[in-house]
Amino acid sequence: MDTASSARTRKSTRDENFPVASWLIASQYRAPILAFYEFVRTADDVADHPTLQPLEKLRLLDQLEASLLGHNDTEPVALPLRSILRERGLTPKHALDLLDAFRLDIRKARYSTWDELIDYCRLSAMPVGRYVLDVHGESEASWPANDALCAALQIINHLQDCGEDFRTLDRVYLPLDAMQAAGADVADLNAHRSSPGLRRCLAGLAARTENFLDPTSSFAGDIRDWRLSLEVSVIHRLALRLTQLLQHQDPLSRRVHIGRTSALGITISALARRMSAHSDRQGAHQVRI
């Protein structure tokens, strides 16, 4: 395989669990976000490729990095992002952190504790939100809330896909100590229905992720860009709903997701709440003046 792009699947933004550069985002920011998405999606597909050997995967990830940093033009998918970073004076660090996360996926397949999983999310999830904030010119003061939200989104994905991750990639993102405490075993992930112990483990991790989202409830209100704050508000509400579903539904026996009708209802509700909060804040500001 000559380039990383050859490993690219047909997966697009529509296949993701959460919105990516949706219509809520202002048009001038969509191209930078989509360029980042295409670069990261390609790297992810390399790391998850079913037949490539680990050394070949690492070589392709290194090739992506070299093209992103301008050392060569071998990887076409890196060129739009490289150009955007240069034109807008943005750092490549967030993309480089994600490449390190994919390298870690190739080398590491188990996580012993929750803290170890969060450390993985520092590379695999948090940089995504930080990049979007940078594109919008938001302050780094918003990073802690972003990091918590992005980590929660990543863990939700791990819970949803725990069976497939184990069967197809031999990866287990569920903390091993949590599995042991619940009376579950890694082999339980190979079944078509969760064992009682695995069910307890998944429900407990979903509840912990819901609690992890608590500090992010005011995140949208701290974002200056109005349209981005709306998108973050929607994502937050969708994430909360998924953690609740995962506490009661079995991701091994069924796909745990939010249907279109429910997603639309959650979106409308989140937008209404955000607009109401914004209106109240504007009114309070005028009274103070």
**Residue type present at position 238:** L
How confident is the prediction along the chain (289 residues), in pLDDT tens digits per residue?
788 988 888 776 665 666 677 878 999 999 999 999 999 999 999 999 999 999 999 999 999 999 999 999 999 999 999 999 999 999 999 999 999 999 999 999 999 999 999 999 999 999 999 999 999 999 999 999 999 999 999 999 999 999 999 999 999 999 999 999 999 999 999 999 999 999 999 999 999 999 999 888 889 899 999 999 999 999 999 999 999 999 999 999 999 998 888 878 888 887 887 777 655 555 444 445 4
Beta-bridged to residue 110, according to DSSP, are 172
pLDDT score of 284:
44
Burial class of 53 by CB neighbour count within 10 A (0 to 12, 13 to 18, 19+): exposed
Query: How far is the C-alpha of 127 from the C-alpha of 163, rounded, in Å?
Result: 26
> By the 8 A CB rule, do 108 and 78 touch?
no
Query: How far is the C-alpha of 219 from the C-alpha of 185, rounded, in Å?
Result: 36
pLDDT score of 278:
55
* Tokens read off for 166: 């184990």
pLDDT score of 16:
65
> By the 8 A CB rule, do 236 and 149 touch?
yes
| Residue keyed to tokens 């078509």 | 192
Query: How far is the C-alpha of 172 from the C-alpha of 55, rounded, in Å?
Result: 21
Query: How far is the C-alpha of 95 from the C-alpha of 269, rounded, in Å?
Result: 33
CB atoms within 10 A of CB 60: 27
Domains of the chain, each with CATH number or no CATH:
23-92 (no CATH), 108-279 (1.10.600.10)
- DSSP letters spanning 2-33: -SGGGG--S--GGGSSS-SS-TTS-HHHHHHH
Query: How far is the C-alpha of 201 from the C-alpha of 56, rounded, in Å?
Result: 35
- Any residues with CB less than 8 A from the CB of 124 and at least 6 apart, and which? 98, 101, 102, 104, 105, 154
> By the 8 A CB rule, do 203 and 248 touch?
yes
pLDDT score of 268:
87
Closest-CA residue to 249 (of 208, 194, 183): 194
> By the 8 A CB rule, do 166 and 122 touch?
no
| Residue 50 three-state SS | coil
